Structure 1
Amino acid sequence: MMIKEIEKLSGMDRANIRFYESEGLITPRRMDNGYRDYSENDLQILLRIKLLRSLHISLEEIRDLKNGSKDLMDTLSNQIIRLEQERQDVSYAKDMCHAMQEDRVSFADLDAKKYIDSINQTIKATGSTYFSVKSDEYPQVFYPWRRFLARSFDISIYNILWSVFLAFVFHVNVAARSGPENLLDTLIVFIMMLFLEPLWLRLFGTTPGKLIFGLRIENPDGGHLFYDEGLDRTLRVIGTGMGYNIPIYSLICLWKSYGRCIENEIQPWDESIYYTIKDTKRYRGLLYIAASALSFIVLFTIISSQLLPPNKGDLTVAEFAENYNYYAKLFEIDLGDEYMDETGNWDKKKTDGSVIYIGLAEKPEYHFTTENGYVTGVSFVIEVVNNEGFITSYNKQMFLTSLAFACAQNEVRLFSKIPNRIADKIDNNIFKDYSFTEAGITFMCDIEYSGYRDTQSHLLFPSNEDENYFSLKFSMNK
């Protein structure tokens, strides 16, 4: 049956039916056109809910009755006891009203403490909650860990968005950010949060993290916050709740926020809003774990994708040069005031003269072997005779050359370990010969030197001998 028919048969408003459906008490079938098809069983459940709710039996108890964890007879017995207590409370409240009438006092002359003391004695004797004024408060969620994890997940999303921007717009190596750069990233992520979170709240009344835990934020009218309201709330969360992420101070702010939740105190930024939770079912924890794992995979994918060069497959010399320059920028290897042009030679960067470049002292001259216009081999030779200065290793040049060529091969895909293996082979053989094969390419390096002292670093220093000699021959070929 359709919604109009079940409204008529149950005597319930559509809003009530939708609410009980959202609570999982009824599960109508979805038809191909998207409409709900309510069964006779759904109708009977709604009628039972209507009856029991009219008797003031709580929704939690009705849920327990439906899933069989409670017995109807026991529930009715407990409700009779509660209703009897409520009858006594109502009778006492009625007597209290008569007593106040007999005292014939105005609001301005009312001695409230005298009557409150009498009510408190009744509460102490019966344990009644009838006289509580807690219902006058805005609904609030006091689950510190759910709130913290929801916000942490939101921040991880903003961090991923910023990482995507860094990786694919500026080609910045997001896996090798320095301490100051991480501080800058944190600042930008908070700025993103400041403007994006109010947008989430305005459009959906929740955020991705809050949605996972069934959390919602609304204004007292039951609608979504306006953007400026959400902006003000988020700004107070960042400042008062998170201490602007300032070391030590942020921990103090988080601890105070945790304490307020434990004591069921409203957070300063939530004083004029409704903060509700749909449920606390276990599957939400599993959903959070799955979502967090997915966000980690996305971030790892971004990092791995940066190791793939702009040009794949067979390379022209110009494409090889573009790959070379890409990796030099990605790994922040300073090439000074030069770059590799489309012919594979070194060219000066255009500058107004205000920038001073300090890069690698020696840049090798590359030789290319081509077939049908595509590169099949790359090599360079370094030879130094009777040099008075020290010799630097050419590991960075070999590293850039190797990645520019090898990572373009079809064997190197996303998450490939080949780039790391190539880097390890080169780094573990400083001023040593090596030969290995990766991605169908043979890498070879022959080094000879005399008159130099190996300091187990990336430098060779001249010894006291009058003559010295250094030779390096590097090549890679398909």
Structure 2
Amino acid sequence: MTASMTEWNTTQLDAETMKADCPWRRFFARSLDLLICSTINGLFMGAILRINLLDRSFLLSLVDIYMSFGILFLLEPLLLSRFGTTPGKWILGISLSKIDGGNLSYGEGFSRLCYVFWRGYGFQIPIYNLVRLYKSYALCREEGEMSWDTETLYHVQPNRWYRVIGFIAAYGVVMCISVGASFWGSSPLHVGAITQQEFVENYNQDAKFLSKNRHKKDALIFTEGNNIYTLSESPFFEDDLTAIFIDKDIPAKMEITETDGIVTALTITHEVPASADSISTYEQPRLLSIRNLLYAQKGFHRGFLPPQTTFTLTDNGKTVTANPVVMMVDHPVESFTGTLEGWEMTQTISYDREAYSYWSPLEMIQKNEEGPEATQPYTMTFSLKKVN
């Protein structure tokens, strides 16, 4: 983009120059501009405020759209007044100016965008916005001039293949940044060799990040001397039945081991007598521990594809190659062990598999109605331990 409009042949005010009957180019240009503004909003909300943008309600998603338009209202008039174009328009060969060839003022660009938001997008009101988009498309195709184009001169360069390639590449890059911003908010607050307090902050932040619009259960406690610490309740599926099924009188416990002030081991234990009708498996606290202790270590943090290792299933000796989170998700009530990046991850689970069944959607073990009486208690020990 250049500060001057002389390259766009502003002196020849012929019909092709003044009219811009290319609705799809204009639509895709603005779509890229809006995506850039949405990404800016996502970077702020995901990377800084650490809000889970992948788990938003319809109303909150609508708020995100309006925030993206708010950023567009700040940036587009500034870009039009300075350069006469925007990133999306520039890539697709479109520029704007006043009839005399000068750039629009900031106020003129702002006023123009108000008309676009009203007449073009219908204030982004669901359904109505689709009606306005279609009508704008039809009007642009027939007349080449919109209500917001009054006293505005369009400069449309010939369409070329490299513009299409450039648009696709730019859209892909911005989309990757947008997705990255969404995942960044779930990365540990503290990385490297972390203290117990830093692990607790990691855990609580991640639990908060994942728990939006979901039911909560299974608060863990761990002790240090005579002090008892409570970690945030972990997220769970929204199902009122869990309040009836889960026996909170026997919570799982966590023990944290520090060496020279640095966490070197974490163990979650849970034991329930054979007489229980249902047992919480505490899958989410185990996953949160992996994400906020193991993935906080050097070599793990902020990685979208954590390294894999070989885990051995204790009960049958089979081996499985997976990253720790996938292993935990795929084998929540099985015993296994594996070592990765100097950390050993071990899980030992024992219960009467004839008397109980694992209910994956509810993350619990439920007694079979017509099964035999349980002959052994449920015991679970999960540990992450630094081995070198």
TM-score normalised according to structure 1 size = 0.63
Asked whether the equivalents of residues 385 and 468 of structure 1 are also in contact (C-alpha less than 8 Å), the reply is: yes
Asked whether the equivalents of residues 370 and 376 of structure 1 are also in contact (C-alpha less than 8 Å), the reply is: yes
Match of 2:61 in 1: 182
State the AA in 1 paired with 2:380.
Answer: L
1:401 to 1:160, Cα distance in 2 relative to 1, 3 A:
same
Deviation at residue 467 of structure 1 after TM alignment: 7.3
Deviation at residue 397 of structure 1 after TM alignment: 0.7
State the AA in 1 paired with 2:366.
Answer: F
Asked whether the equivalents of residues 418 and 439 of structure 1 are also in contact (C-alpha less than 8 Å), the reply is: no
Say which structure is richer in strand: 2
Q: After alignment, is 242-251 or 358-367 more displaced?
A: 358-367
Match of 1:324 in 2: 203
Matches within 5 A, 1:261-410: 261-332=140-211, 345-347=228-230, 361=248, 363-385=251-273, 388-410=276-298
Matches within 5 A, 1:14-93: 19=6, 22=7
Look up the SS of the partner of 2:356 in the other structure: strand
Match of 1:456 in 2: 359
Match of 1:8 in 2: none
Aligned counterparts of 2:117 and 2:143: Cα–Cα separation in 1: 21
Q: After alignment, is 375-384 or 216-225 more displaced?
A: 216-225
1:413 to 1:365, Cα distance in 2 relative to 1, 3 A:
closer
Aligned counterparts of 1:447 and 1:337: Cα–Cα separation in 2: 18
Look up the SS of the partner of 1:375 in the other structure: strand
Asked whether the equivalents of residues 154 and 208 of structure 1 are also in contact (C-alpha less than 8 Å), the reply is: yes
Asked whether the equivalents of residues 242 and 250 of structure 1 are also in contact (C-alpha less than 8 Å), the reply is: yes
Q: Provide Cα deviations, 1:52-96, integer angstroms capped at 9, x if missing partner.
A: xxxxxxx9xxxxxxxxxxxxxxxxxxxxxxxxxxxxxxxxxxxxx
Aligned counterparts of 2:22 and 2:222: Cα–Cα separation in 1: 59
Match of 1:155 in 2: 34
Match of 1:199 in 2: 78
Match of 2:381 in 1: 473
1:438 to 1:306, Cα distance in 2 relative to 1, 3 A:
farther
Bigger relative CO (Cα 8 Å, ≥ 6 apart)? 2
User: Any stretches of 5+ residues in structure 1 without a counterpart?
Assistant: 1-17, 25-58, 60-133, 350-357
1:265 to 1:308, Cα distance in 2 relative to 1, 3 A:
closer
1:422 aligns with 2:330: no
Asked whether the equivalents of residues 383 and 471 of structure 1 are also in contact (C-alpha less than 8 Å), the reply is: yes
Aligned counterparts of 1:137 and 1:145: Cα–Cα separation in 2: 16
Asked whether the equivalents of residues 346 and 384 of structure 2 are also in contact (C-alpha less than 8 Å), the reply is: yes
User: Any stretches of 5+ residues in structure 2 without a counterpart?
Assistant: 233-241, 308-321
Higher Cα Rg, which structure: 1
Asked whether the equivalents of residues 436 and 443 of structure 1 are also in contact (C-alpha less than 8 Å), the reply is: yes
Q: Provide Cα deviations, 1:34-56, integer angstroms capped at 9, x if missing partner.
A: xxxxxxxxxxxxxxxxxxxxxxx
TM-score normalised according to structure 2 size = 0.76
Aligned counterparts of 2:279 and 2:160: Cα–Cα separation in 1: 66
Aligned counterparts of 1:348 and 1:431: Cα–Cα separation in 2: 22
Look up the SS of the partner of 1:276 in the other structure: strand
Match of 1:226 in 2: 105
Aligned counterparts of 1:199 and 1:339: Cα–Cα separation in 2: 51
Asked whether the equivalents of residues 368 and 379 of structure 1 are also in contact (C-alpha less than 8 Å), the reply is: yes
Aligned counterparts of 2:231 and 2:267: Cα–Cα separation in 1: 22
Aligned residues: 345
Aligned counterparts of 1:219 and 1:173: Cα–Cα separation in 2: 43
Aligned counterparts of 1:369 and 1:337: Cα–Cα separation in 2: 21
Aligned counterparts of 1:269 and 1:214: Cα–Cα separation in 2: 19
Match of 2:335 in 1: 433
1:341 to 1:23, Cα distance in 2 relative to 1, 3 A:
farther
Q: Provide Cα deviations, 1:316-367, integer angstroms capped at 9, x if missing partner.
A: 2112212211221222277679787996953499xxxxxxxx9994653221
Asked whether the equivalents of residues 198 and 231 of structure 1 are also in contact (C-alpha less than 8 Å), the reply is: yes
Deviation at residue 277 of structure 1 after TM alignment: 2.2
1:394 to 1:424, Cα distance in 2 relative to 1, 3 A:
same
Deviation at residue 155 of structure 1 after TM alignment: 0.6
Look up the SS of the partner of 2:351 in the other structure: strand
1:337 to 1:379, Cα distance in 2 relative to 1, 3 A:
closer
Aligned counterparts of 2:128 and 2:272: Cα–Cα separation in 1: 57
1:135 to 1:310, Cα distance in 2 relative to 1, 3 A:
closer
Aligned counterparts of 1:409 and 1:291: Cα–Cα separation in 2: 33
Aligned counterparts of 1:316 and 1:379: Cα–Cα separation in 2: 15
Asked whether the equivalents of residues 158 and 192 of structure 1 are also in contact (C-alpha less than 8 Å), the reply is: yes
Deviation at residue 373 of structure 1 after TM alignment: 2.3
